[in-house]
A and B are shown apart, each in its own frame.
Chain A
């Protein structure tokens, strides 16, 4: 019973981070129609910036804020320099560019900070909370993860649904030509969308860093799981990203806990393939899917 509960709780924690990565992917896909494979690597880079600040003696929250701001800037920069020139070209080209960016960022991080794995400090205690005699596999840091991601999601939902800026972003994504005619600065909106998504990704990477070995490649698996979560939830639904993340997290945790941790990626692949066979459009998607 103890193992079951602990595996479940681990799954919820991991799943929340997958949900955050998925949310970043969904944001960029909704805003610009591109799947950003460099999402994890961009978050990794900003987290390394935070790491440098932490080792230089800056407090955790200062480094936290700087990392998120760096994510914002990096997202806007990538969109402006690498993705905007490809507007109007085949939609596959920006995706290929993000794949190239993924590798380049990992190489840059590796050359500046080295390839060895190290530890990353957490904002709160990572030891399990005690309930009377028992310790549960849920720490204060895990609570922080849940709270941070949920707050972020609520904030973004509110932004899109109830603000003018959100309306403009949705318009620019849905019909850029018409939006331009109606006065929306579509290019700037795209950059803003990427900047916001990169901030979400930076948060996810910061939260994930203390959980696993911290090296330039640590976000690869999170990207994969985040992608699974995004597809499960439907690639254009933020709520779906959260649900998809939790489902992915819990199921991979069960695979890891009962079958062996090396099988976790294949477990998530099997989950994804099963869901695609049964309900291809994901759980919350608004677009239709095709039957083969």
Chain B
């Protein structure tokens, strides 16, 4: 039924919203601030996950795109008196336009060229803010006053709710997008561009759409962070942020919208943890600053080598193994074992992965047998001509 995925996504989102509401009611203001940060990073990671996991492009510039969203939002808050929603949407819109501008030329070549172009963006954009420091506030950046909370509500809790709501809305929208023909086009382009083109999918436009969507998410995330921290400066968006985002996304699982929360938690808590580790081991001053990014780099390497589908993939795998070994599960529930667990979306993705690996295996085997056949034919021919 066409309505089922949407209903399921909405139900999950509402359940998550209820969970977050309860969580924020019991946590301290500082913890609520961090929960809000996690939600903001989850938005950025969700966009990146769609871009890399589902569409197969790597971006090293999402930190810079977050900066664009943050600065746009900051400038709008400072110079205009528009509604909060309008300002957020405007920041998202500006970042999306930049995403399209960068995405169109980069979509023309196959391969990880977007990575290089976005790397340039990540290195170049902060310098732009430094060059025009009068508009952008130079080193100190811009400061904004966050919108006041209604009534006697904790300001941190109110802002965290806004950020969580934005995150849940974004994830539901992305989940629906991935279920639609656009999501199928993304996957098709990732897996085999030539086949996708033959099937009638416009590869270039699909890649640009994926990048634009991910840029929109990054812009929103940047704006949301400004909302709770109240400051924007270029120091908040160095190149290492883009790499940290990539690592967070890979950790959670590329292509997994549930996995973004793992990555977001890592992005918020790893820097604090590494600072305390550096302090307790009394390493130099400079070490703690980049220790977090080094750990993220290690995460990138180790996860790719050991568990390419990230934590969410590992969970799915262990869940599958557990279900299959639990033979004492009563008959009425054995339907769960037969490819129909509670979360259909997760299983469909693993089904698709099995299919993909099968197909790639088959095509490899047929290629190899073809090539060995050809070389065998050549050998026969030369033998015959010599004879």
List residues of chain A with CB under 8 Å of any chain B CB.
Answer: 35, 37, 82, 85-86, 88-90, 92-97, 99-104, 106-108, 110-111, 114-115, 175, 177-178, 181-182, 220-221, 223-224, 227-228, 231, 235, 260, 262-263, 265-266, 268-269, 272-273, 276-277, 280-281, 289-292
The residue on B at minimum CB distance from A269 is B120
> Are B124 and A102 within 8 A (Cβ)?
no
Question: Is B155 among interface residues, defined by CB-CB distance under 8 A?
Answer: no
Q: Determine the chain A residues whose CB is within 8 A of the CB of B108 once the complex forms.
A: 276-277, 280, 289-292
Of A35, A92, A175, A277, which is in contact with the most chain B CB atoms at under 10 Å from its CB?
A92
> Are B298 and A104 within 8 A (Cβ)?
yes
Question: Is B203 among interface residues, defined by CB-CB distance under 8 A?
Answer: yes
> Are B297 and A95 within 8 A (Cβ)?
no
> Are B127 and A265 within 8 A (Cβ)?
yes
CB distance from A216 to the nearest CB of B (A): 9
- Neighbour of B296 across the interface among A97, A103, A280, CB < 8 A: A103
> Are A280 and B371 within 8 A (Cβ)?
no
Q: Determine the chain B residues whose CB is within 8 A of the CB of A265 once the complex forms.
A: 120, 123-124, 127
Of A95, A99, A104, A108, which is in contact with the most chain B CB atoms at under 10 Å from its CB?
A99
CB distance from B19 to the nearest CB of A (A): 32
> Are A86 and B305 within 8 A (Cβ)?
yes
- Neighbour of B131 across the interface among A37, A220, A262, CB < 8 A: A262
> Are B125 and A35 within 8 A (Cβ)?
no
Question: Is B13 among interface residues, defined by CB-CB distance under 8 A?
Answer: no
> Are A104 and B119 within 8 A (Cβ)?
no
Q: Given that A263-B128, A292-B108 are known contacts, is A99 also in contact with B243, CB under 8 Å in the complex?
A: yes
- Neighbour of A92 across the interface among B58, B121, B124, B128, CB < 8 A: B58
CB distance from A292 to the nearest CB of B (A): 3
Given contacts A263-B128, A277-B104, 16 further A-B contacts (CB under 8 A): A35-B116, A89-B308, A92-B58, A96-B304, A97-B305, A99-B243, A99-B300, A100-B297, A103-B293, A103-B296, A110-B290, A224-B123, A262-B130, A276-B106, A277-B105, A277-B108
> Are B205 and A181 within 8 A (Cβ)?
no
> Are B290 and A107 within 8 A (Cβ)?
yes
> Are B117 and A269 within 8 A (Cβ)?
yes
The answer for the CA separation of A55 and B232 in the assembled complex, in Å, is: 42
What are 9 of the A-B contact pairs (CB < 8 Å)? A92-B56, A99-B243, A100-B301, A101-B301, A231-B109, A268-B120, A269-B120, A289-B109, A292-B108
A-B CB contacts (within 8 Å), total count: 170
Q: Determine the chain B residues whose CB is within 8 A of the CB of A111 once the complex forms.
A: 283-284, 287
Q: Determine the chain A residues whose CB is within 8 A of the CB of B294 once the complex forms.
A: 103-104, 106-108
CB distance from A102 to the nearest CB of B (A): 7
The answer for the CA separation of A223 and B60 in the assembled complex, in Å, is: 13
The residue on A at minimum CB distance from B286 is A115
The answer for the CA separation of A106 and B208 in the assembled complex, in Å, is: 32
List residues of chain B with CB under 8 Å of any chain A CB.
Answer: 52, 56, 58, 60, 101-102, 104-113, 115-117, 119-121, 123-125, 127-128, 130-131, 203-205, 208, 239-240, 243, 246-247, 250, 283-284, 286-287, 290-291, 293-294, 296-301, 304-305, 308, 364, 367-368, 371-372, 375
Q: Given that A35-B115, A231-B116 are known contacts, is A181 also in contact with B372, CB under 8 Å in the complex?
A: yes
The residue on A at minimum CB distance from B356 is A90
> Are B243 and A266 within 8 A (Cβ)?
no
> Are B367 and A177 within 8 A (Cβ)?
yes
The answer for the CA separation of A243 and B1 in the assembled complex, in Å, is: 57
> Are A178 and B375 within 8 A (Cβ)?
yes
CB distance from A27 to the nearest CB of B (A): 15
> Are B301 and A290 within 8 A (Cβ)?
no
> Are A107 and B367 within 8 A (Cβ)?
no
The residue on A at minimum CB distance from B296 is A103
The residue on B at minimum CB distance from A216 is B290
Q: Determine the chain B residues whose CB is within 8 A of the CB of A182 once the complex forms.
A: 375
Q: Determine the chain A residues whose CB is within 8 A of the CB of B121 once the complex forms.
A: 269
The residue on B at minimum CB distance from A108 is B294
The answer for the CA separation of A248 and B290 in the assembled complex, in Å, is: 31
> Are A114 and B284 within 8 A (Cβ)?
yes
The answer for the CA separation of A23 and B242 in the assembled complex, in Å, is: 26
The answer for the CA separation of A220 and B243 in the assembled complex, in Å, is: 13
CB distance from B300 to the nearest CB of A (A): 3
Q: Given that A177-B367, A181-B372 are known contacts, is A273 also in contact with B117, CB under 8 Å in the complex?
A: yes
- Neighbour of B115 across the interface among A37, A89, A273, CB < 8 A: A37
Q: Given that A97-B305, A110-B290, A177-B367 are known contacts, is A266 also in contact with B109, CB under 8 Å in the complex?
A: no
CB distance from A121 to the nearest CB of B (A): 24
> Are A260 and B247 within 8 A (Cβ)?
no
CB distance from B197 to the nearest CB of A (A): 8
Q: Determine the chain A residues whose CB is within 8 A of the CB of B293 once the complex forms.
A: 103, 107
The answer for the CA separation of A220 and B123 in the assembled complex, in Å, is: 9
> Are A292 and B291 within 8 A (Cβ)?
no
The answer for the CA separation of A50 and B229 in the assembled complex, in Å, is: 44
Q: Determine the chain B residues whose CB is within 8 A of the CB of A268 once the complex forms.
A: 120, 124
> Are B107 and A292 within 8 A (Cβ)?
yes
